[in-house]
Amino acid sequence: MSRRVLGLVLLAAGVVGVVLISLAFGTRQIEFPVVVDAILAPDPTNNDHAVVRDLRVPRTVIGLLAGAALAVAGGIMQGLTRNPLADPGLLGVNAGASLFVVLGITFLGITAASGYVWFAFAGAAAATVLVYAVGAGRGGNPTPVTLTLAGAAVTAVITSVITLVLLQNLDTLNQYRFWSVGSLVGRELSTVTVVIPFLVIGFVLAAIVARMLNVLALGEDVARGLGQNIVLARVLAAVAIVLLCGGATSISGPIVFVGLVVPHIVRRFTGPDYRWILAYSFLLGAILLVLADVIGRLVVQPTELEAGIVVAFLGAPVMIALVRRSKVGAL
């Protein structure tokens, strides 16, 4: 068994581990056998069972899905733009999703998360197209610098509009501030079922795109020489990004760090092959977000820290360490 396959198996074991931890630990002390019973033989009258099934299971599922989706999306973005700073947050995709969700809350009175979904997709798609179009410019060729600038500029425009709406509307601010910190709590599994098909398509596209990203990484001219259809590769990658980011953002809020940090960490073990990078990212992203959620539950009892906040505090030091260790400008 090669080293990379072994790593994948270890990560899969890690996913199982964090799922068990996530189900077992929380503000309320529940014995592990009771947790197992709650899953296998639920008793509707037992409060402990209710906590596990109605609170811990949904947030674990959401953490797994959103974490995996954001990490894979970040990996695709970094490959597509050949930009180490690429992240759904930094390239404005999350901001686009946020804007449309805010507009939906304010002007259409959407309150259920299952309603956010469509707005998040539309916003993520709009922002991706806009950032790419602006970053490409007249020459039609985006560079890492222009794309990142375009992402920052689009994010700033969108943030201005969001703030304008929030300042005029107290109710929206009240909903938005809880959604925007990236919480896995308070979502129902029914919301998740709406999103799952989109995420699955996104993951399948990611698997298809991975090989193309390897060719793109050689540079456009070489890729074209090898017979790679560059436009097709970019379009597929963009669709995957929109589906993954839109889906993840609608269930977990705009969590920024997973997409940036996970592919960076993973690359140290897998090397530059995107098929491995995306597969590792899929698993490590899920682990990271669920683990962040568990930590958030335990550190400030009896209240909780939102997973998005924990991710930021876990991710930033890791990212800084990576940046310090790597050679300047190296991906």
Partner 1 sequence: MSVVAVATASRRSRARTVTLVLFAAVLVMSALSLAVGAYSVSLPDLLATLVGQGDSKNEFIILRLRLPRLTMAVLVGLAFALAGALFQSLLGNPLASPDLIGITTGASASAVFAILVLGLSGFAVSGFAFAGALVVASTIYLLSWRSGIAGYRFVLVGVGIAFMVQSTLGYLLTRADVRDAQGALVWMVGSLSGTLWAEVAVAAISIGILIPVVVLLAPQLRMLQLGDDTARGLGVRVNVARVLLLGVAVALAACATAAVGPIAFVAFVAGPIARRLVPGISLVPSALIGVLLVVTADFASQHLLPGGTQVPVGIITGAIGAPYLLWLLATRRSRGEA
Report residue 73 CA to chain centroid gap. Answer: 7
Given 26, 75, 79, 84, the residue binding partner 1 (CB under 8 A): 84
Q: Is 143 in the site for partner 1 (CB under 8 A)?
A: yes
Given 9, 17, 42, 137, the residue binding partner 1 (CB under 8 A): 137
d(CA 35, CA 58): 14
d(CA 241, CA 232): 14
Q: Are the beta carbons of 101 and 116 closer than 8 angstroms?
A: yes
Given 10, 133, 208, 235, the residue binding partner 1 (CB under 8 A): 133
Q: Where are the alpha helices (DSSP H) in the chain?
A: 3-24, 32-40, 47-50, 57-81, 93-108, 113-136, 144-168, 170-180, 189-216, 220-225, 230-252, 257-270, 274-299, 307-325
Q: Is 111 in the site for partner 1 (CB under 8 A)?
A: no
Q: Is 135 in the site for partner 1 (CB under 8 A)?
A: yes
Q: Which residue has the tokens 């950032």?
A: 131
Q: Is 227 in the site for partner 1 (CB under 8 A)?
A: no
Q: Is 316 in the site for partner 1 (CB under 8 A)?
A: yes
Q: Is 328 in the site for partner 1 (CB under 8 A)?
A: yes
Count CA atoms closer than 13 A to 274's CA, side-chain side.
26
Q: How far is the CB of 198 from partner 1 (least distance, A)?
A: 26
Site for partner 1 in 154-213 (CB under 8 A): 154, 156-157, 159-161, 163-164, 166-167, 170, 173-174, 177-178, 180-182
d(CA 114, CA 236): 26
Q: Is 256 in the site for partner 1 (CB under 8 A)?
A: yes
**Site residues (vs partner 1, CB under 8 A):** 84-85, 89-90, 133-135, 137-139, 141, 143, 145-146, 148-150, 152-154, 156-157, 159-161, 163-164, 166-167, 170, 173-174, 177-178, 180-182, 256-257, 305-306, 308-309, 311-313, 315-317, 319-320, 323-324, 328-329
